[in-house]
Amino acid sequence: GYAGLERSRLGLDGAPEWPRLQAMLPPVEGLRVADLGCGYGWFCRWARQAGAARVLGLDLSRRMLDAARARTEGEGITYVEGDLAALALPEARFDLVFSSLAFHYVADFGRLLAAIRQGLAPGGRLVFSIEHPLLMAPRAPGWRREADGRLTWPVDAYLEEGPRETHWFVPGVVKHHRSLATTLNSLVGAGFALARLEEFGPSAEQVASRPEWAKERERPLFLLVSAAAL
């Protein structure tokens, strides 16, 4: 199950994209931080240890929040149960909103971004990751071995945006495929300036230590975005 995933067991160190995502963050010392879809709270604890003034961790799963609280010592982190689809943040109360691999479960991305924008103080940052749209787009996602030996990721339906039902530990999990253009135009439309975009695949060094990751350089795995509130 989900709890057995490397990133669930090992936290940030079990997520190969974390060093790249971390490099896209502003210095967190003194910042008021929100983590949308905080899961077991790994990022909340990292941010607090790195000097964040206070951290709000939001998640839909009470069970995960209970586990997050059990792993958290000291003051400064508040875990709250909540649905990103109905997010409402107090105005200008945060300097950094972070989210890892959660936004592709939200159908109305424009609404979500408006709520985040309202919660950010001027100059605040939004840093998030989602599955890359190339993973979500295909009607039947999967690798294929070509006759010439190449491993390819066949793409279709990229321009047909909307829900995609997949099997992710339980059947019937719905992700919302949006083109990269829609993701970025939604940000601009909500009052953000794009600061940096990464299409993450493992580095050559990471592949050297984990040869089974080699195929993840054939097409990007995650989209990492850093944007500034205007």
φ, ψ of residue 163 in degrees (nearest 5): -70, 145
Under rule CB under 8 A, residue 165 binds a second copy: no
Q: How far is the CB of 155 from a second copy (least distance, A)?
A: 5
* Contacting residue, 92, 114, 121, 184, with a second copy by CB under 8 A: 184
Under rule CB under 8 A, residue 49 binds a second copy: no
Please give the Cα distance from 38 to 79 (Å, whole number): 8
* Contacting residue, 139, 205, 209, 211, with a second copy by CB under 8 A: 139
* Contacting residue, 8, 54, 166, 198, with a second copy by CB under 8 A: 198
Q: How far is the CB of 214 from a second copy (least distance, A)?
A: 11
Whether 111 and 84 have beta carbons less than 8 Å apart is answered as no
Under rule CB under 8 A, residue 188 binds a second copy: yes
Under rule CB under 8 A, residue 141 binds a second copy: no
Whether 143 and 151 have beta carbons less than 8 Å apart is answered as yes
Secondary structure, 3-state, 32-65: EEEEECCCCCHHHHHHHHCCCCEEEEEECCHHHH
Pairing of strands 32-36, 54-59: parallel
Size, binding site for a second copy by CB under 8 A: 36
Task: Choose between 82 and 138: whose C-beta lies nearer to a second copy.
Answer: 138
* Contacting residue, 9, 71, 196, 210, with a second copy by CB under 8 A: 196
Q: How far is the CB of 36 from a second copy (least distance, A)?
A: 22
Which are the contacts of 129, defined by CB distance < 8 A and separation ≥ 6?
A: 17, 21, 99, 100, 101, 200, 222, 223, 224, 225
End-to-end CA distance of the chain: 40
Q: How far is the CB of 31 from a second copy (least distance, A)?
A: 22
Whether 96 and 34 have beta carbons less than 8 Å apart is answered as yes
- What are 193's two structure tokens? 């300036």
Under rule CB under 8 A, residue 23 binds a second copy: no
* Contacting residue, 12, 60, 121, 180, with a second copy by CB under 8 A: 180
Under rule CB under 8 A, residue 179 binds a second copy: yes
Please give the Cα distance from 44 to 76 (Å, whole number): 10
* Contacting residue, 73, 75, 148, 212, with a second copy by CB under 8 A: 148
Residue ranges binding a second copy (CB under 8 A): 134, 138-140, 144, 146, 148, 150-160, 179-181, 184-185, 188, 193-199, 201, 217-220
